Structure 1
Amino acid sequence: MRRFFFLSLIVIIAFSLSVQAQIRVGEFPQNVEDEFNLEPEAIEVEVWQQNLDVPWELVFLPKSDRVLVTERDGVVKQIIDGKLQSENYLDLDINSRGEGGLMGMAHHPDFPEKPYIYLMYTYTRSNRTLYNRVSRFKDQGQQGVEEEILIDQIPAGNNHNGGRIAFGPDEMLYITTGDTFNREIAQDLDNLGGKILRLTPEGKIPADNPFDNSPVYSLGHRNPQGLAWHPETGDLFISDHGPSGEDGLRAKDRIKVVKAGSNFGWPDKIGYFEAEEYANPLIMWEEAVPPSGMTFYRGNLYVGTLRSQSLVRIGLNRKNNTFEVEKIEHLFRNANSSIYGRIRTAVAGPDGYLYFLTNNRDGRGRPREGDDKILRFKIEE
């Protein structure tokens, strides 16, 4: 009996190891080397707001001088005519442990005629289980009221919550969700983690979603935190974090171009494979970056990065219906130092400025004087 027990235990351990050791690593898809530019010419950065507490998202409200910013501890602040208001726009009861908390935000595509503000945040249920949800609130000028939950029980954890939300050119709401360090859920269509989700502004499942009666738009992601649509083609770009120890792998953060129904293979594979059933990334980094929020501005893709502490500017060219990477440039960073530290996101403002948010007070950064900040610069066309 004891021999049978030990043989069974060996089989179980061997099976567990075989299940866990299945991440295949492909090639790096881009053919250019990263460049570093600590003080880029023709860019003059100014501080727009400061003394914030881990700002995560910045949203300019149409037809007004109002701007909203989320802070990860559950506060939405309002900026009117460039002045940070003393009273909070919203103060939510959330769980901001680890990488969770109040994250993404968006306004309704028909704002202010349809005065809704959308938020994604982490909360704790009565049984102490963590979840993420997306809700919308009715804008009343000085505050948001009347929470309406659109999608709930998205997996949450101390790490890998995703968290970015944005409306696409099709006026549908896109939501990035992470694998919460439970990597197998990224391939489970019945689980909302490790996915890009797509909903109507009312929280319904669009009839043209790629999987029947499912909010899932794309799967096989680890911790996607950025959404941006190419201004000319409408293609969806996302950023995704690479491994931080799974199967001994690290780094390999990625930028991807996402089609409806595409499966990027996590955790079965990571990187570029020729003639592969899974979709391939556009960029994969050898050193840890991780990329977060991003936007297109003046023809380039700008990506806020965390560990690499730079604003990455990516030059792209479209050839034969595919994108080619022409340049990857880390702004405000060289081999030894970073001017601004951890950057959470980049946002193109309606005034022609590019705005970016620092996150040096998130527990992983080194706060500078006045952190955290919203900074901006303008490049003339």
Structure 2
Amino acid sequence: MLIFLFPLFIIAQENIQKAQPILGEVPQKTEDVFLPEVPGVKVEVWVDSLTIPWSLRFLPNGDALVAQRTGDIVRIPAGQREQEKYFDVPGAVHEVDAGLMGLAIHPDFENNNWIYIMHAFRNQKDELLSKVVRLEHRGNTAVLDKVIMENIPAYAIHLGGRIAFGPDGLLYIGTGDMSQPFLAQDVNHLASKILRITDEGEIPSDNPFENSPVYSYGHRVVQGFAWDPETGAFFNSEHGPSGAEVEGSVRYRDEINKVEKAGNHGWPVVVGAPGMSAYVDPKAIWNKAAVPPAGMTFYRGDLYVASLGGQALIRLVFDKENDYEVKKVERWFSYAPSKGIYGRMRDVTIGPDGNLYVTTSNTDGRAAVRIHDDKILKLTFE
């Protein structure tokens, strides 16, 4: 299998050297609709004064945990709105985009009390890396239980960081390209990949590449995961190129992908949807302005995606009988590209009350800070 992929890796290197990726089409055939106010949706500030909240998840008892990129986790007890100190991550390093990032609750939490986090750290050689560790929940706090996977490639930017348990009970990990795009096509390197491991850090026997945690490749900077509960279809969000010298003149092209096992999702050989059999076309891209999509979840049949630079909560409506062709794109709480009511948005999840909860990300230095930022917004559907 690796021998078959080797020519594609050579193509990737050649394209990077020429700085001319193949440009594909915008796959969705509909224009974005901007909705500063959304009929039938009530928005209220649920919690405020957070610091770069990266992941928001709810425990079975209704408590909310918020992983902040600065290296600490806060808890919002069920029925309350005040944050409490929960856990300071030992060894977590916060540098630019690196820090404490993903947080995932084990599917069998009620029996094992396991919580998983992903964070950046520096090893004894002072190299910046990421690791996934397991915590054991103990009521109002947690203790470090086990390192699940370490020495994951990292960088101050472009490092990914999202983790989530899939419906198969396995842990999925998103990584970035470390500003070295060609790594995305090297299946022997963990950068720019979606990884899949067991809850103990072992490699599942049905992973597509032998003795490898790599599940899919050709990604750029993986930022979100979601599975459609109706079909089990797996989606990810990722950031497109910035137009830096190493990436050529191509800009934007942030993506929503329907992930395929062993699939080559194209970066940096192709961007957009060229319809080439060797690559998996995205379901949606944006090529006119930066959208950077982040955390996401399916809710009432549609996919909701937190957008950073786009300053919106994006709703994607699919034609599921036509392989998830995008029928509608709405940008909630935004009145123009990169101009939103609440600023940057990082994560979205479903609360135990059945409502959507969205975190802002304005204290990360990349947007104007609103009063009492950052916030968790509660969306109630009337």
Q: Same fold (TM over 0.5)?
A: yes
Specify which of 50, 69, 77 is matched with residue 52 of structure 1: 50
Q: Who is 1:12 aligned against?
A: none
Q: Does 1:159 find its partner at 2:144?
A: no
**Does 1:298 find its partner at 2:300?**
yes
Matched, 1:339 2:334: no
Give the corresponding residue for 2:328. Answer: 327
Give 1:166-181 correspondences, 5 Å limit.
Answer: 166-181=164-179
Q: CA RMSD in A?
A: 1.6
Write the distance in 1 (CA, Å) between the matches of 2:252 and 2:301: 27
Conserved? CA contact 1:22–1:267, under 8 Å? no
Aligned amino acid, residue 338 of structure 1:
G
SS of the equivalent of 1:113 reads: helix
Which 5+ residue runs of structure 2 have no aligned equivalent? 1-12
Aligned equivalents of 1:45, 1:58: Cα separation in 2: 17
* Matches of 2:238 and 2:280, distance apart in 1: 14
Match of 2:76 in 1: 79
Q: 5+ unaligned residues in a row in structure 1: which ranges?
A: 1-14
Residue 22 of structure 1 deviates from its aligned partner by 4.1
Residue 32 of structure 2 aligns with which residue? Answer: 34
Letter in 1 for 2:298: F
Normalised by the size of structure 2, how large is the TM-score? 0.92
Tell me how far apart the structure 2 counterparts of residues 126 and 236 of structure 1 sit (CA, whole Å).
37
1:127-206 matches, cutoff 5 A:
127-206=125-204
Take 2:15 and 2:190, find their aligned partners in 1: how far apart are those partners?
A: 26
Alignment-mate amino acid for residue 319 of structure 2: N
- 1:155 corresponds to which letter in structure 2? P
The amino acid across from 1:350 in the alignment is P
Residues 270-309 of structure 1, C-alpha deviation per residue, up to 9 Å, x if partnerless? 1112243111100111121010000111121110001110
What is the one-letter code of the residue matched to 1:45? V
What is the aligned partner in structure 2 of residue 6 from structure 1? none
Cα distance in 2, alignment partners of residues 218 and 141 from structure 1: 36
In 1, Cα distance between equivalents of 2:15 and 2:67: 41
Change (3 A) 1:196 1:18: closer
The answer to whether the aligner puts 1:316 opposite 2:279 as a matched pair is no
Question: How far does the alpha carbon of each residue in 1:232-276 deviate from its partner, in whole angstroms, 9 at most, with x for none?
Answer: 010101001110011011101010000111111211111112243
Secondary structure of residue in 2 paired with 1:33: coil
CA contact (8 A) 2:46 2:81 kept: no
* Alignment check: 8 A CA contact 1:89 1:142 kept: no
Partner-residue secondary structure (3-state), 1:112: helix
Alpha-carbon separation, structure 2, partners of 1:373 and 1:222: 28
TM-score normalised to structure 1 length: 0.92
Match of 2:210 in 1: 212
SS of equivalent to 1:274: coil
Match of 1:97 in 2: 95
Corresponding position of 1:228: 226
SS in structure 2 at match of 1:92: coil
Q: Which has the larger radius of gyration?
A: 1
The one-letter code of the counterpart of 1:66 is D
2: CA distance, partners of 1:158 / 1:20: 26
167-176 or 75-84: which moved more?
Answer: 75-84
Which residue in 1 is equivalent to 2:251?
250
* Aligned partners of 1:75 and 1:92 also within 8 Å: no
Does residue 278 of structure 2 align to residue 277 of structure 1?
Answer: yes
1:184-205 Cα distance to aligned partner (Å, 9 max, x none): 1111112111000001111111
Residue matched to 1:362: 364
How far does residue 379 in structure 1 lie from its aligned partner after superposition? Answer: 1.6
Once residues 93 and 146 of structure 1 are traced to their aligned partners in structure 2, the CA distance between those partners, rounded to angstroms, is 12
The aligned amino acid for 1:250 is R
Find the residue that maps to 1:44 and give its secondary structure: strand
Quote the offset at 1:18 in angstroms: 6.9
User: How many residue pairs are counted as aligned between the two chains?
Assistant: 364
Letter in 1 for 2:255: R
Question: Equivalent residue for 1:7?
Answer: none
In 1, the alpha carbon distance for the partners of 2:347 and 2:81 equals 21
1:67 is aligned to 2:64:
yes
Q: Secondary structure at the match of 1:319?
A: helix
**Alpha-carbon distance, 1:25 to partner:** 1.2
Which AA in structure 1 matches 2:353? Answer: D
